Amino acid sequence: MSTHHQAYVFALEPTPEQAQALASHCGAARFAYNWGLARVKTNLAQRAAERTYGLAEAELTPALDRSAYGLRKQWNAAKHAVAPWWGANSKEAYASGLANLSVALKNWNASRTGKRAGRKAGFPRFRSKRSRRSFRITTGSFGLDGAGNRHVKLPRIGRVRTGESTRKLARHLHRGSARILAATVSHRRGRWQVSFTVEKTTPAPAPATRGGAVGVDLGITHLAVLSTGETVANPKHLEKVQRKLRRAQRRVARRRGPDRRTGQTPSGRWRKARAAADRLHTKVVNARRDHLHKLTTRLVADFDTIVIEDLNVAGMVANRRLARAVADVGMGEVRRQLEYKAAWSGRRLVVAERWFPSSKTCNDCGAVKAKLRLSQRTFACQVCGAVADRDANAARNLAGLAEAASSPSCGARINEPAGNPRKPSLAGDGYRHGKTPPARAGSTPRRKATAQGTFSHVS
């Protein structure tokens, strides 16, 4: 038995009155967020001004409690004065906005002090009416409505119809294998939706139907090529709607849109045209997500070990000729889904090192080519004469890493050429006039790749 958190998302079909109530709750969360942020900024500015007068830290204005509990306590003391209409919405809406502010302030402070890794988090900014609308519910009467599996219950709003059946979640709740922890209501791409955070208890995972290891080589021509010889076609969801999308975006460009420099507000026709274009993007996103979920679920159900590459998707998107095609595949989403699905199912996911030469290595003899152009779709080994499809050869090499990952002494083949192969120059290795360039300041000699750095485990 294992326990994990899982989200169940259902599209909502509210009545006009319910849609207005949902929008009011989102506005309440935004109001509480901006109110708390204004208090925090005022307090920080006051303390900074007092420091300029040479006051000691003990003599400064006391700092505000920026925890979620502290912000809610301050809101409860001031809500009758600052928001006399607060009773029109559930208290969960205001608590949601203050909790989001507390997390934003915590991330900013941790990033500022060096305690938070990754991209630097800036100071929170005020939210406008055009910001993404959402609020979170953690207490109160909410969940599924027992009649017909087509309704959910939300506090102060009541019974809201869903666009699809909720029986998948209802069955787990009836068996006692799931418990709803929270619900997040949001408005995305023109539709209201609710996402239930569920604590789910699952029995021991079933054994893989086929077993063994499989290498998965992602690409553009084919979405995935497996080491078993199977190829998964690329549906190219975005390419299918390009004609309609171009027309919709031209229609938006001809309307009077917003302009922050002049303060121009968008016209009603612009909003309608923008909504039509957004619906096309929504269709593409939903189709792509559904297709990737089916692929990753099948891989996890069929194989014990799955080997993929650590692809530099950001670098691939930087190529303007391939950016649209690469983004349409969703390579990063494939890895994200495989990571958590493999953990849930007790499978092993091996991620090959980014510079592992899966396409340049011959799967028969192990020889490594120094250079292989992207346009060369067939791999021809110059040592043993083997000829194979480029992607199929890469997938088989990835599958071979599963054994190397389980046996550290086995090692994996690494491409170690003397520098990156590049087009030769008549001027030698220096400047165009032949002068040897000086060594760059702070440069370090390049580290050779090792077998231990070839793969990393995600399980």
Active site amino acids: 217, 309, 391
- 3-class DSSP state for residue 231? strand
For 320, counting Cβ atoms within 10 Å of its Cβ (0-12 exposed, 13-18 middle, 19+ buried), the class is exposed
Determine contact, residues 379/388, Cβ cutoff 8 Å: yes
Closest CA to 14 of 189, 160, 176, 171: 160
For 393, counting Cβ atoms within 10 Å of its Cβ (0-12 exposed, 13-18 middle, 19+ buried), the class is buried
410-431 residues labelled b (16+ CB within 10 A) or e (exposed): eebbbeeeeeeeeeeeeeeeee
Contacts of 88 (CB under 8 A, 6+ apart): 24, 28
Biggest alpha carbon distance in the chain?
83
